Amino acid sequence: MKLQYRLLFCFLILFSACSKDNIKSVLPADNISIQASSGTDTLVTAMPVLKDSVIVVGLKAKLSGGASTGEHWVTFAVDTTKIDDYNSAYGNGTLLPSNAYLFYKPTCHIVAGSDMSDSVQINIIQESKLDGYIDYVVPIVIQSIDGNVQDIAKEQVFYVVFKAGKPTFIRKTKWTIAGVSSIYSSFVATNILDNNTATYWVSNITQSMPQWIAINFNQEISFSAVTYNLPANLHYPTYGGYSTSIKIETSMDGTNWTDNGTFAGDISNNMQTLNTGEVTAKYLRFTSLSCVPYVSAYNAIFISEIGLVP
Q: Is a pLDDT exceeding 90 seen at residue 267?
A: yes
Q: Are 301 and 241 in contact (CB under 8 A)?
A: yes
Mean pLDDT value across residues 275-292: 97
Mean pLDDT (the chain, rounded): 88
For the chain, how big is the Rg over CA atoms in Å? 31
Confidence band for 19, pLDDT divided at 50, 70 and 90: very low
Mean pLDDT value across residues 236-256: 97
Q: What is the pLDDT, as a whole number, of residue 64?
A: 86
Terminal CA-to-CA distance of the chain, rounded, Å?
92
Delimit the CATH 2.60.120.260 region(s) of the chain: 176-309
Confidence band for 169, pLDDT divided at 50, 70 and 90: confident
Q: Which residue has the higher pLDDT, 99 or 168?
A: 99
Distance CA 305, CA 185 (A): 18
Q: Is a pLDDT exceeding 50 seen at residue 6?
A: no
Distance CA 198, CA 298 (A): 21
Q: What is the pLDDT, as a whole number, of residue 55?
A: 92
Pair type for strands 72-78 and 135-145: antiparallel
Pair type for strands 32-34 and 55-63: antiparallel
Q: Which residue has the higher pLDDT, 1 or 51?
A: 51
Q: What element of type H or E holds 261?
A: strand 257-264
pTM summary value: 0.65
Regarding the domain delimited by 176-309, which CATH topology (the fold level of the hierarchy) does it fall under?
Jelly Rolls (2.60.120)
Pair type for strands 271-292 and 242-251: antiparallel
Q: What angle do CA 300, 306, 309 make, to 5 degrees?
A: 145
Q: Is a pLDDT exceeding 70 seen at residue 271?
A: yes
Distance CA 291, CA 300 (A): 7
Q: What is the pLDDT, as a whole number, of residue 28?
A: 65
Cis peptide before 210 (omega within 30 of 0): yes
Q: What element of type H or E holds 90?
A: helix 83-90
Q: 24 vs 27, 189, 303, CA distance in Å?
A: 9, 66, 70
Q: Are 158 and 82 in contact (CB under 8 A)?
A: no
Least confident of 36-40, 78-82, 192-196, 225-229: 36-40
Q: What is the pLDDT, as a whole number, of residue 16?
A: 40
Could you read off the pLDDT of 133-150 as tens digits, one per residue?
889 999 999 999 998 886
Least confident of 112-116, 130-134, 137-141: 130-134
Mean pLDDT value across residues 47-55: 89
Q: What is the pLDDT, as a whole number, of residue 86?
A: 96
Percent of the chain with pLDDT over 90: 72
Q: What is the pLDDT, as a whole number, of residue 263?
A: 98
Q: Is a pLDDT exceeding 60 seen at residue 247?
A: yes
Confidence band for 249, pLDDT divided at 50, 70 and 90: very high
Q: What is the pLDDT, as a whole number, of residue 13?
A: 34
Q: Are 99 and 138 in contact (CB under 8 A)?
A: no
Q: What is the pLDDT, as a whole number, of residue 154?
A: 60
Q: What element of type H or E holds 7?
A: helix 2-22
Q: Is a pLDDT exceeding 60 seen at residue 21?
A: no
Q: Is a pLDDT exceeding 90 seen at residue 194?
A: yes
Q: Is a pLDDT exceeding 60 seen at residue 10?
A: no
Confidence band for 50, pLDDT divided at 50, 70 and 90: confident
Collapse the DSSP code of 275 into the 3-class scheme (helix H, G, I; strand E, B; otherwise coil) and give the result.
strand
Give the residue from 234, 233, 215, 251 showing the smallest Cα distance to 292.
234
Q: What is the pLDDT, as a whole number, of residue 37?
A: 60
Q: What is the pLDDT, as a whole number, of residue 27?
A: 65
Confidence band for 223, pLDDT divided at 50, 70 and 90: very high
Q: Which CATH class is domain 29-164?
A: mainly beta
Sheet arrangement for strand 55-63: 32-34, 55-63, 116-124, 101-105
